[in-house]
Amino acid sequence: MSFAYVEGSPTPNLAGLVDVGTLDGTGDTGIRLSGGGGGTFELLAAPGLLWGTAAVRNGMADLSNDHGAYAGLPLYRAREFSLVGEITVPTVDDLWGAIDLLYRTFNLGDRSLKTLTLNTAGWAATRQIAARVDGEIELVAPSDKNGHLATRRGFTVPMLAPDPRIYSTTEHATTVASGGTVVSNAGNMPTPIRVRFNGAQTGPVSVTDSVDSLVSSASPTSGHWVEVNTRDPDAATATAYDDAGASKFSTVSDWSLATLPAGDTTLTSDNAGGAGTTVVYHRDAWS
């Protein structure tokens, strides 16, 4: 086989480019789907991802005094989408190596989440979503015998994102003061946060928007920290741990400050003593 893929090529040129990498941020790209021509793997469409928003399911609850119901908080459905593209290679001998790479990157046996990094010319910065393969990868069969000699093949990869929100690739860090600090979510959806309480601080330690709070009874000493994450992307749930890796989940008594709304929010930090800092991390989030 003469096929070889050089990671990071081709250079992004038009809207719709997608890099497929690992969730842990190691930079293992795997495949770059370039939009608008050029490159081995070209992205032709991404229905439900680049075109479409996250689906919302309204929570419903029975009223106590009749047989009706009322709409509760909106809940997000998992996002189902497809990557529709085309493989283009110089010679037909190269085709099978490219198909093998496609199957290795979108591996049906790998149920872990992968990060899709989305680049479009109309966005000020790249965005990302965590998803996994959700079904059979389809390759378009040639329509006639001579078609098997063609150097192009269409493909469709079905994907599922348990968290349907699209996030900024940049994670913002804001040190929150006791007198109040403005934290900005430039997206249009509420976004999860993680809060690091750096020592030395005496518990309870907290951060609040004056209505909702994150509160922990932990008391990190100087040079150490405790971190509370309202949605850890690796665990897909809330977590709390210290810099030694020990769980601090039981120390958290209030999880009501679970997300930052779109726009600006003033947060304040507090503790029972100590000069350690409290840092809030977040990514801007879009539907």
Q: Is pLDDT above 90 for 10? A: no
Position 125 confidence tier, pLDDT thresholds 50, 70, 90: confident
Share of the chain above pLDDT 90, in %: 46
Predicted confidence at residue 98, as pLDDT, reads 85
DSSP-assigned beta bridge partners for residue 69: 62
Q: If you compute the radius of gyration of the chain from its CA atoms, what whole number of angstroms results?
A: 23
Residue 83 tokens read as: 């990557």
User: pTM for the complete prediction?
Assistant: 0.82
Q: Once rounded to an integer, what is the mean pLDDT over residues 1-18?
A: 45
- Top CATH class of 171-286 equals mainly beta
Q: Once rounded to an integer, what is the mean pLDDT over residues 36-49?
A: 76
Residue 167 tokens read as: 């996030």
Predicted confidence at residue 53, as pLDDT, reads 76
Q: How far apart are CA 32 and CA 252, in angstroms?
A: 41
Q: How far apart are CA 94 and CA 129, in angstroms?
A: 30
Q: Where does CATH 2.60.120.860 sit in the chain?
A: 171-286
Predicted confidence at residue 28, as pLDDT, reads 55
Q: Where does CATH 2.40.30.200 sit in the chain?
A: 17-167
Q: Is pLDDT above 50 for 48? A: yes
Q: Once rounded to an integer, what is the mean pLDDT over residues 196-222?
A: 97
Q: How far apart are CA 39 and CA 11, in angstroms?
A: 9
Task: Please write the tens of the pLDDT for every residue from 231-264.
Answer: 887 777 899 999 999 999 999 999 999 999 999 9
Helix (H) / strand (E) element for 166: namely strand 166-168
Q: Is pLDDT above 80 for 55? A: no
Predicted confidence at residue 147, as pLDDT, reads 67
Predicted confidence at residue 68, as pLDDT, reads 62
Length of the chain: 287
- How far CA 178 is from CA of 101, 152, 270, 277, 287, in Å, comes to 52, 60, 6, 10, 32
Q: How far apart are CA 139 and CA 146, in angstroms?
A: 17
Task: Please write the tens of the pLDDT for every residue from 148-187.
Answer: 778 888 999 999 998 999 999 899 999 999 999 999 999 9
Beta strand pairing call for 31-35 and 41-45 = parallel
Q: How far apart are CA 206 and CA 280, in angstroms?
A: 11
49 and 40 in contact (C-beta within 8 Å)? no
| Nearest C-alpha neighbor of 226 from the set 246, 208, 256, 212 | 246
For the domain with range 17-167, which CATH number is right: 3.40.1000.10, 3.40.50.720, 2.40.30.200, 3.30.450.40? 2.40.30.200
Helix (H) / strand (E) element for 59: namely strand 56-62
